Amino acid sequence: MLKRPDPLVTLDGAGICRDGRWLVRGVSCTVDPGEIVTLIGPNGSGKSTTAKMALGILKPDEGSAKRRDGLRIAYVPQSLAIDWTLPLAVDRFLRLTGPIGKAEAADALAATGVRHLARAEVRTLSGGEFQRVLLARAIARKPDLLVLDEPVQGVDFTGEIALYELIKSIRDRLNCGVLLISHDLHVVMAATDRVICLNGHVCCSGTPTAVASSAEYKALFGARAASTLAVYEHSHDHTHLPDGRVQHADGTITNHCHPGDGHHPGPDALHNKGDGDVR
Positions 178 through 237 that interact with other proteins (CB under 8 A):
none
**CB nearer to other proteins: pick between 80 and 210:** 80
Rounded distance between C-alpha atoms, residue 125 and residue 197, angstroms: 33
The least distance separating other proteins from the CB of residue 54, rounded to whole angstroms, comes to: 9
Contact call for residue 85 and other proteins (CB under 8 A)? yes
Single out the residue of 80, 162, 210, 270 in contact with other proteins (rule: CB under 8 A).
Answer: 80
Q: Which positions ≥6 away from 240 have C-beta within 8 Å?
A: 199, 200, 246
Contact call for residue 92 and other proteins (CB under 8 A)? yes
**CB nearer to other proteins: pick between 33 and 77:** 77
DSSP element (H, E) containing 230? strand 229-231
**CB nearer to other proteins: pick between 69 and 216:** 69
Contact call for residue 175 and other proteins (CB under 8 A)? no
Rounded distance between C-alpha atoms, residue 238 and residue 111, angstroms: 42
Contact call for residue 242 and other proteins (CB under 8 A)? no
Q: Which positions ≥6 away from 226 have C-beta within 8 Å?
A: 211, 212, 213, 217, 218
E-assigned strand segments in the chain: 9-18, 21-31, 36-40, 62-67, 73-76, 145-149, 177-181, 187-189, 194-198, 202-206, 229-231, 238-240, 246-248, 253-254
The least distance separating other proteins from the CB of residue 115, rounded to whole angstroms, comes to: 18
**CB nearer to other proteins: pick between 85 and 235:** 85
Phi, psi of 126 (to 5 degrees): -80, 170
Segment lying near other proteins (by CB under 8 A), choices 90-98, 163-171, 209-217, 228-236:
90-98
Count of beta carbons in the 10 Å neighbourhood of residue 235? 8
Interface mask toward other proteins for 40-79; x: CB under 8 A: ------------x--xxx--------------xxxx-x--
Residue ranges in contact with other proteins by CB under 8 A: 52, 55-57, 72-75, 77, 80, 82-83, 85-89, 92-93, 96-98, 141, 147
